[in-house]
Structure 1
């Protein structure tokens, strides 16, 4: 979906200064500092600490560098939400007891919502 939007717009990111100042510049700075830590600071003695910090910085930079979400299409009406989560908890007594054998599997299960 992002690729389609990028091709239609003919740019990777929206061309606003706010996008550059609040997202791209901080994301690039964080990623660059992570690479600098990895390349110049990491040693065998501090590997576990620096590598953990590297993971946190790279994950944080991805949050800044990902393209923005697509705006919802106004033509599509929002679907009515069902109350509750809509899932059922089904417990198979044979499976719970560890008595599952392909020859005796039945569909008898207790479902609650």
Structure 2
């Protein structure tokens, strides 16, 4: 029965080390030097297998949640225009619904109240 779990002799994935891509240095007008790095390959192409797909799906969902949270905070700030008690209460409500934690929420709210004064 233990013969089913035989280890592979070689793993093609780890055979050759991949050389890091060096940034391309260019000179721009005004004497400034800029460095551009090539964009990395899409993460979807790298993720394969069961755990790779799960990790990819979780990463996408976490990014969506983060974007929604930051978007709500940004919308509240844009709507208020200035730091006042209504904005502070709205941010507090958003953070509590997002399950940031009571201690962290109160710390941020107190910082905002000090900024308001």
TM-score norm. by structure 2 comes to: 0.28
Report the structure, 1 or 2, having the larger helix content: 2
